[in-house]
Amino acid sequence: MKTTTQKLQDSWVHVPENSDFPIQNLPYGIFQTEKRGASVGVAIGEQILVLEEVARLGFFDDLNIDTSVFSSSSLNNFISLGKKNWTAVRQKLTELLDSENDALQSFKTDVLVEMADAEMLLPVEIGDYTDFYSSIEHATNVGTMFRGADNALMPNWKHLPVGYHGRASSIVVSGTDIHRPKGQTLAAEADTPEFGPSKRMDFELEMAFIIGKNTELGETVSTENAEDHIFGMVVFNDWSARDIQKWEYVPLGPFLGKNFASSISPWIVTMDALEPFRVESPTQDPKPLPYLQYEGNKSYDINLSVAIAPENSEETVVCNSNFKYMYWTMAQQLTHHTVNGCNIRVGDMMASGTLSGSTPDSFASMLELSWAGQKEVPLSNGETRKFLRDGDTVVMSAHCQKGDLRVGFGEVRSKLLPSR
């Protein structure tokens, strides 16, 4: 790892100051342009490196990989090449993009596309999506609102990473507008439910990791091996209709209050790129059962923020949080998920749960920021919010910073449209 006093490696591709996408990042995505159908790209500065063109020019020939994976409309085939090849391709790209290497540079008009000219698509085909509930601050906040401070956490919460299955079909990429969902809700003091647009539309700031290696049914992944099964991460907005959720969720969990849409950032930042930002996780007390124990630093210092931009108005940041607050690590989540033999597949997505911190300005949903609608959240245009209004754009972003080194995720930006 480079120390902060060393000069960082530069690329011949221009990377603006504070860009999320320096040569140290190299996240993968699927893009298309007017001229090119869906294809694999790597973000660098404000450009996209077109991997099928890099392959066509022969720059991957010595890697002995099937380069047709780069002409695919999802990353699943590339991811399926396995961790050894992810690292080999990353190493090759790091060489090719180095400011002192002009081999690829002479073909730059062939291999680079302006981000401004490209549309980003969903980066993976998602077989299954699981949502965890792994922030102790979020679980405590929500539990306090619903059951009082003394019973905030359920008895199981500190013994296992609580999670549930979500809907894969409705995961969409940043930029996709979301319609306010309709559904059944029970008004306060009503006996019978009513039907109509949700009145308590909310976001949840989460991150998700993408599975990089299949397991067989019956197989278990240990905490020690879990990271071999994780390809990378994205920012995840788990849209929530609180009033629908509240009425429907007993006894089998959230369903229509969640499955109308979840939005993700388009670039998958690899675990290799996140390596410099490893940190300790919160101490776990009580100590979990042996199968959930692990050694080493298995969390990451990732700064997170949420902003709301009302229609025709500027953004207001309403939450600043960090991924490192999460109580259960990704390795523990994955081990728990497979301890019963449940099989996982390349492209599966596993979200963290709402990543609230301990201070009110780090609460990561409107439910918590407005304390179930009891407080107004001020915006810079003079308006306030308890929940989201039609026309609001929600912007979530994430980046790691260590000295001069910044590795970012870009953003997931989605507008809430009126109910159809």
Which residues are annotated as part of the binding site? 131, 133, 147, 204, 206, 238, 245, 249, 258, 262, 354
- CB count in 10 Å sphere of residue 382: 8
- Please pick, from the candidates 229, 298, 337, 386, the single residue that binds a second copy as defined by CB under 8 A: 337
On whether the CB atoms of residues 400 and 277 are closer than 8 A, the answer is yes
DSSP symbol at 117: G
Site string for a second copy, 35-64 (x = CB under 8 A): ------------------------------
- Please pick, from the candidates 29, 183, 266, 310, the single residue that binds a second copy as defined by CB under 8 A: 183
Q: Which stretch binds a second copy (CB under 8 A): 65-73, 106-114, 212-220, 363-371?
A: 212-220
Q: What's the rounded Cα separation, in Å, for the pair 308 and 205?
A: 12
From residue 112, give the alpha-carbon distance in Å to each of 78, 240, 407: 20, 38, 20
Query: What minimum distance in Å lies between the beta carbon of 342 and a second copy?
Result: 5
Query: What minimum distance in Å lies between the beta carbon of 239 and a second copy?
Result: 10
> How are beta strands 47-50 and 39-44 bridged, if at all?
antiparallel
DSSP string, 61-74: GGG---GGGGGSSS
- CB count in 10 Å sphere of residue 25: 26
- Please pick, from the candidates 29, 41, 232, 254, the single residue that binds a second copy as defined by CB under 8 A: 254
- Please pick, from the candidates 224, 275, 311, 341, the single residue that binds a second copy as defined by CB under 8 A: 341
Site string for a second copy, 231-250 (x = CB under 8 A): ----------x--x--xxxx
On whether the CB atoms of residues 196 and 237 are closer than 8 A, the answer is no
Question: Which runs of consecutive H residues, i.e. helices, occur in 176-241?
Answer: none
Q: What's the rounded Cα separation, in Å, for the pair 355 and 241?
A: 18
On whether the CB atoms of residues 215 and 338 are closer than 8 A, the answer is yes
How many residues interact with a second copy (rule CB under 8 A)?
Answer: 62
Site string for a second copy, 106-135 (x = CB under 8 A): ---------------------xx----x--
88 touching a second copy, by CB under 8 A? no
- Please pick, from the candidates 72, 81, 342, 373, the single residue that binds a second copy as defined by CB under 8 A: 342
Residues 6+ apart with CB under 8 A from 67: 51, 52, 55, 60
- Please pick, from the candidates 64, 149, 188, 195, the single residue that binds a second copy as defined by CB under 8 A: 195
Q: Which stretch binds a second copy (CB under 8 A): 101-109, 163-171, 224-232, 275-283?
A: 163-171
351 touching a second copy, by CB under 8 A? no
Query: What minimum distance in Å lies between the beta carbon of 248 and a second copy?
Result: 6
- Please pick, from the candidates 69, 96, 112, 162, the single residue that binds a second copy as defined by CB under 8 A: 162
Q: Which two tokens stand for residue 116?
A: 């401004």
Our answer to whether residue 138 is catalytic in this structure is yes
202: left (phi > 0), else alpha (psi -120 to 50), else beta? beta
Residue 351 parent element (H or E)? strand 349-351
Q: Which stretch binds a second copy (CB under 8 A): 39-47, 71-79, 108-116, 178-186?
A: 178-186
Torsion of CA 353, 355, 359, 360, to 10 degrees: -70
Burial 145-161 (b: 16+ CB within 10 A, else e): beeeeeebeeeebbebb
156 touching a second copy, by CB under 8 A? yes
Q: Which two tokens stand for residue 344?
A: 């996982």
Query: What minimum distance in Å lies between the beta carbon of 259 and a second copy?
Result: 5
> Which residues are annotated as part of the binding site for substrate?
133, 147, 245, 249, 354
- Please pick, from the candidates 37, 58, 148, 286, the single residue that binds a second copy as defined by CB under 8 A: 286
- CB count in 10 Å sphere of residue 320: 15
Query: What minimum distance in Å lies between the beta carbon of 122 and a second copy?
Result: 12
Q: Which C-beta is closer to a second copy: that of 253 or that of 276? A: 253
Q: What's the rounded Cα separation, in Å, for the pair 398 and 236?
A: 10
Question: Which runs of consecutive H residues, i.e. helices, occur in 214-279?
Answer: 242-248, 271-274
Query: What minimum distance in Å lies between the beta carbon of 165 and a second copy?
Result: 4
Q: Which C-beta is closer to a second copy: that of 173 or that of 319? A: 173
**Binding residues for a second copy (CB under 8 A):** 127-128, 133, 154-156, 159-160, 162-170, 172, 176, 179, 181-184, 186, 192-195, 217-218, 220, 241, 244, 247-256, 259-261, 286, 289-291, 336-337, 339-345, 348, 420
Instruction: Give the catalytic positions in this structure.
Output: 138
